[in-house]
Amino acid sequence: MTILFAIALSLMIQSVAQSINEPMILTRITGPIVIDGHVDEPAWDLIDPVPLVSYDPVSGLPPSEPTEIRIGYDDQYIYASIRAYDSNPSGIRANTLYRDRLSGDDVFHILLDTYNDNESAMAFTITPTGAKRDATVSNDGEGPRAMNADFTTYWDVATQITDEGWFAEVRIPFSSLGFQDDKGRVEMGLLFQRGIARKNERVTFPEVPANVSRPFFKPSLGQRIVFEGIYSSRPLHITPYILGGLEQNYHLNETQSGFSRNDDTTLEAGFDIKYGITNNLTLDLTVNTDFAQVEADDQQVNLTRFNLFFPEKRQFFQERSGIFEFNTGDNGRLFHSRRIGLSPTGEQVRIIGGGRLTGRVGSWDIGLLNMQTGRYEDIDTENFGVLRLRRELFNPYSFAGAMATSRINTEGYYNIGLGMDGNIRFRGDDYFSYVWAFTMDEQIGGNSITDASKVRINMERRTRRGFSYETTVGYSGETYNPGTGFVPRNNYYMAEQNLRYGWLPGSASPLLWHSFSVESEGYWNASTNRPETVELGSTWEATTKPGASFDASVTWFYEDVPFDFPLLQSTNITEGTYRFTRASIGYRMASSRLFRTRFQLDAGTFYNGNLITATIAPTWNVSRHLELEASYLYNLLDAGLDEDWFSVHVGQLRIRTAVNTRLSTNAFIQFNSAANIAATNVRFRYNFRDGNDFWIVFNQGMNTERNRFELALPRTNARTVMVKYTHTFHR
């Protein structure tokens, strides 16, 4: 049905001649290369460097600093190197040693579209200190969550900084990549980028259009490259872990006159297995999965009557997560992996085990996942299943797909989800996308397809220069309820329109880019046809050539609140109709500065009262061994009721330390006055090599208002100390 729908659509649109990207045959490396960062082996000089062209701050110019980037391969590895010469070596930004953290550094980016599908890719980033970050890209880099920086794989890098500049050598095993071969011939897409932070300069191979936003994460812009004589090696990685620790919790005593502390010790073990069934299909298995080392969620303040969205951070669910992406709009998901192994309040639920099969067969992307969780308090043991299929249509920039999900427990409850989606490039930068999802829930029972469905249709032009637009219409039934997904709201019709015009002023202007947009959005109750939410606004955004950015907006709101709801646990917004207007201004300093900050101020009327929200978020790279990152959110609210003005504070402090690229700590301290808690999450990590890690994790929650109930709460509501070691065996 999905494919027939897309074919019918294609008959209504003009055919577009696709750009022909002549493949580049890569040089096979025959001499030895030692990954030490010196880039001095004779084998490198037998490879021609790729031609580089500036993207920012002025498109089309040669690099301001001599740069040589090379790529080659042998039977097991892809090799890449950069000689990043610099006329001012003291100006090289090498701000951090912390893994997976870019902090205004100079960078060398490598993007590999390993399946040559113009949609998904793996991104490898190196800084002058040798710190590295790996990520996956989905949906051709479009959307707020198209890049997943929580992904980790196996690869090696070494760097050197000299009085000539900085140099790096990279080695990526073919076994860390998924790809398809045709009798030993492998074709991929490739993008290189060098970033010179102090100049806000980015040079790329191949040349990318100036009107494209975030082109370095768009696999559709990559150069086609060819490897010869590369075959499947069927790698096997077995990663057992052992975990021990102490957990302290407080519970009401038998007489309910006070709180008693319970101390529970933990000693557990489990393992993960990764097996390459073929070079394009990977099987992941997990037993007694544990996520003790995952960083705590950011505290959020909810100023709406809708659920907050929290992203997935657990490593097992990051592998090829883009395949399982099924976005239904407004953070909605038919499948959201956080529903597996986490209770609605965020506590861990034991994952007994499960498996995932991901890859690409011909033109088809395939994702299959099945997980079994244990019993937790009043939550029965459950089985979660997902099947995802997607294939290219018409051109390399278009796809159609389908998804099926299931959630079943031992008491007979089931929830089934079915969906179809697609994205079609029909002219230049113009795209059409559609989503349809349908759910069946045992507890809801005999509802019509209409009541249990969600539909979203979108057309947009993706460009940062000239006129662009985004038009969306959608519908959600009253009983639409994906048990494995996320739904912020339902039972509505909606329409959204965004019109934007962007300018690239050129070399004479201090601005790199700026735009003006007009936005409108409306939701109508599907049962009563009454408007529930309407927003009308305009926004100006600008980025300067040194890298600072500004924004300013004015928005008018209409809210028809169908029921009373609590706001910040301090007051209630009562049922009724509200109109209010808000204005916002923001400023962000250039990321290349050792001390930089972000500031946002939002003020205006709010329901029957007023609300002022201010955010300041400074970051200071004291040295490459120490980074301090803080944020402070201040809400001053007058709800227009009998209460006086009251304030809500959310503070965060991250202290990142790194002795070198292997040994690091991350202390994350949070305070939320709305929830009356302060929380500390400290993670010590020693990374022997990729896949071998030693962790010490400390978590503590504090009650900041102990006397808010008749019985005084304990000062500490929970404390855990965990020690975890993982070791990967390779074959």
CA–CA separation, 80 and 44 (whole Å) = 9
CA–CA separation, 658 and 636 (whole Å) = 37
Q: Residue 594 in 3-state DSSP? A: coil
* Structure confidence at residue 15 as a pLDDT band (50, 70, 90): very low
Placement of tokens 């959110």 in the chain: 633
The more confident residue out of 239 and 308 is 239
Residues 6+ apart with CB under 8 A from 345: none
Q: At residue 8, does pLDDT exceed 80? A: no
Read out DSSP for 90-114?
GG-------TT--SS--EEEEEEET
Global pTM value: 0.87
- What phi and psi, each to the nearest 5 degrees, are found at residue 45? -75, -10
Q: What pLDDT was estimated at residue 308?
A: 82
Contact 578, 607 (CB under 8 A): yes
CA–CA separation, 172 and 584 (whole Å) = 45
Sequence length of the chain is 731
Placement of tokens 């620790």 in the chain: 245
Q: At residue 12, does pLDDT exceed 50? A: no
Half-sphere exposure of 97 (CA within 13 A, CB side): 16
Q: What are the residues facing 584 on neighbouring strands? A: 553, 602
Q: What pLDDT was estimated at residue 446?
A: 63
Q: What pLDDT was estimated at residue 19?
A: 40
**Per-residue pLDDT tens for 579-618?**
999 999 999 999 989 999 999 999 999 988 899 999 999 9
3-state secondary structure 612-658: EEEEEEEEEEEECCEEEEEEEEEEEEECCCCCCCEEEEEEEEEEEEE
The residue extents of the domains of the chain are 23-228
CA–CA separation, 44 and 33 (whole Å) = 8
Contact 653, 678 (CB under 8 A): no
Which numeric CATH code is attached to 23-228?
2.60.40.1190
- Cα separation values, 228 from 90, 112, 184, 280, 359, Å: 41, 16, 6, 16, 21
Least confident of 80-89, 255-264, 384-393, 503-512: 255-264
Placement of tokens 């005593």 in the chain: 253
Read out DSSP for 650-690?
EEEEEEEEESSSSEEEEEEEEEETTTTEEEEEEEEEEEEET
Structure tokens at 110: 């490598």
Of the candidates 311, 321, 331, 421, the residue with the CA atom closest to the CA atom of residue 367: 321
First to last CA, the chain: 42
The more confident residue out of 388 and 144 is 388
Residues 6+ apart with CB under 8 A from 689: none
